[in-house]
């Protein structure tokens, strides 16, 4: 079972439009309403692959009730933590060329008691989890050190932890030694405080995160594939994608594929790349099913192209 923790979940509405024109009335050609938040998306992808998952989510108000309903409808076991504020609602506008414009609401401000209730819920479910995926931004009311506390408590239950967050929250959590961290290239650059121009730069930055406490780094390089940097060495995974429809949740789908495939080694990296490549070809934040995957298109190699310039 994969347990996910999403401190700031959302109700996500995605509209597809021919073009985004500022100040005009736009008529959507398609729309979706999905439960959102990075950990929620990981659970959705795990469930779509046919595996058991439990989602710990603070939920409040009518949007929170709808998030719980939508998750249950996708075969996800929901462990709700009731909060006084309303779950946030986000808007995304997708254009045919893959350009995505997002408006993310801040979400509720959690109290100290609500923050502790989330940690207690994790403690209830973590002992039976193969992995605990802690994902996304922290809502108002939670200090950057909150993820470090979560990682420490989950480790206390014998759980392996995958952490997908950024900024101060990521840096503060490294001392708690998460088993895997999953930054994208922008988040990786922010973590080490310098721009990354090549794949080799990204590898060096990932090694710095490992030196600071991360067991392994699964780094998304966008069109340049993914890196897995661990004690076993450095691996590069890649799959060509003909056309990007929406990149919403693609990184979360990658993490789900990685964890469902065991969370280490070339097989898990190949699964991560296959899930990410499939996700960007789907509308909105739809998660790929096994039928959407094309494992034969994935290449994983230890011959990492260190001198390759990263795509902008």
Q: What is the pTM of this model?
A: 0.92
DSSP state of 97: T
Q: Could you tell me if residue 6 is left (phi over 0), alpha (psi between -120 and 50 degrees) or otherwise beta? A: beta
Instruction: Please list the pLDDT of the chain residue by residue as tens digits (312 residues).
Output: 999 999 999 999 989 999 999 999 999 999 989 899 999 999 999 999 999 999 999 999 999 999 999 999 999 999 999 999 999 999 989 888 878 898 999 999 999 999 999 999 999 999 999 999 999 999 999 999 999 999 999 999 999 999 999 999 999 999 999 999 999 999 999 999 999 999 999 999 999 999 999 999 999 998 899 999 999 999 999 998 888 887 778 999 999 999 999 999 999 999 999 999 999 988 777 899 999 999 999 999 999 999 999 986
What are the backbone dihedrals phi and psi of residue 259, each rounded to the nearest 5 degrees, phi first?
-70, -40
Q: In what order do the strands lie in the sheet with 30-36?
A: 30-36, 10-16, 88-94, 100-103
What local confidence, expressed as pLDDT, does residue 201 receive?
A: 97
Spatial separation of the C-alpha atoms in residues 76 and 34, rounded to whole Å: 13
What are the backbone dihedrals phi and psi of residue 52, each rounded to the nearest 5 degrees, phi first?
-80, 140
DSSP state of 211: H
In a domain, 311, yes or no: no
Q: At 11, list the tokens.
A: 């109700």
In a domain, 257, yes or no: yes
In a domain, 308, yes or no: no
Spatial separation of the C-alpha atoms in residues 9 and 252, rounded to whole Å: 13
CA-based Rg of the chain, rounded to a whole angstrom?
18
Q: Could you tell me if residue 213 is left (phi over 0), alpha (psi between -120 and 50 degrees) or otherwise beta? A: left
What local confidence, expressed as pLDDT, does residue 98 receive?
A: 75
**Residue 161: HSE in the Cβ half-sphere, 13 Å Cα cutoff:** 30
In a domain, 109, yes or no: yes
Spatial separation of the C-alpha atoms in residues 58 and 139, rounded to whole Å: 10
| For helices 112-125 and 146-156, angle between their N-to-C axes, nearest 10 degrees | 30
In a domain, 41, yes or no: yes
Catalytic residues: 252
- Segments in the chain forming alpha helices (H): 38-48, 61-73, 112-125, 146-156, 167-173, 185-192, 199-211, 250-260, 265-279
In a domain, 90, yes or no: yes
Instruction: Show Cβ contacts of residue 279 under 8 Å, excluding neighbours closer than 6 positions.
Output: 45, 247, 249, 250, 253, 254, 286, 287, 288
CATH number at residue 252: 3.40.1190.20
Q: How many domains does the chain have?
A: 1
Spatial separation of the C-alpha atoms in residues 82 and 4, rounded to whole Å: 17
DSSP symbols for 226-275 = EEEEETTEEEEEEE--S--S--TTHHHHHHHHHHHTTSSHHHHHHHHHHH
- Taken in order 201, 202, 205, 210, the sign of the CA dihedral is negative
In a domain, 310, yes or no: no
Q: In what order do the strands lie in the sheet with 77-82?
A: 77-82, 53-59, 2-5, 131-135, 161-164, 180-181, 216-220, 226-230, 233-239, 298-301
Spatial separation of the C-alpha atoms in residues 152 and 302, rounded to whole Å: 32
Structural domain range at position 155: 2-301
């Amino acid at each position: 079972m994969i347990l996910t923790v999403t401190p700031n979940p959302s109700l996500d509405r995605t509209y597809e439009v021919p073009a985004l024109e500022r100040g005009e009335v736009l008529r959507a050609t398609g729309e979706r309403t999905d439960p959102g938040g990075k950990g929620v998306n990981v659970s959705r992808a795990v469930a779509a692959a046919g595996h058991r998952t439990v989602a710990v989510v603070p939920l409040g108000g009518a949007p929170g009730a709808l998030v719980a309903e939508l998750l249950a409808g996708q075969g996800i076991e929901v462990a709700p933590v009731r909060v006084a504020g309303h779950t946030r609602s986000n808007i995304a506008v997708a254009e045919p060329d893959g350009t995505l414009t997002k408006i993310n609401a801040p979400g509720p401000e959690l109290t100290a008691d609500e923050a502790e209730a989330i940690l207690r819920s994790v403690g209830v479910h973590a002992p039976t989890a193969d992995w605990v995926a802690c994902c996304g931004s922290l809502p108002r009311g939670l200090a950057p050190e909150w993820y470090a506390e979560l990682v420490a408590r989950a480790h206390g239950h014998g759980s392996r932890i995958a952490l997908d967050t950024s900024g101060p929250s990521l840096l503060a959590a490294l001392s708690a030694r998460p088993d895997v961290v999953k930054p994208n290239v922008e988040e990786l650059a922010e973590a080490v405080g310098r721009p990354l121009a090549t794949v080799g730069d990204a590898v060096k930055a990932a090694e710095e995160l490992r030196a600071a406490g991360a067991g392994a780094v699964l780094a998304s390089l966008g069109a340049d594939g993914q890196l897995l940097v661990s004690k076993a060495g450095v691996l590069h995974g890649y799959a060509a994608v003909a056309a990007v429809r929406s990149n919403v949740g693609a990184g979360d789908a990658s993490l789900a594929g990685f964890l469902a495939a065991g969370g280490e080694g070339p097989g898990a990296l190949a699964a991560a790349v296959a899930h990410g490549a499939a996700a960007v070809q789907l509308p909105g934040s739809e998660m790929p099913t096994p039928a959407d995957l094309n494992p034969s298109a994935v290449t994983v190699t230890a011959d990492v192209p260190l001198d390759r310039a990263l795509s902008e």
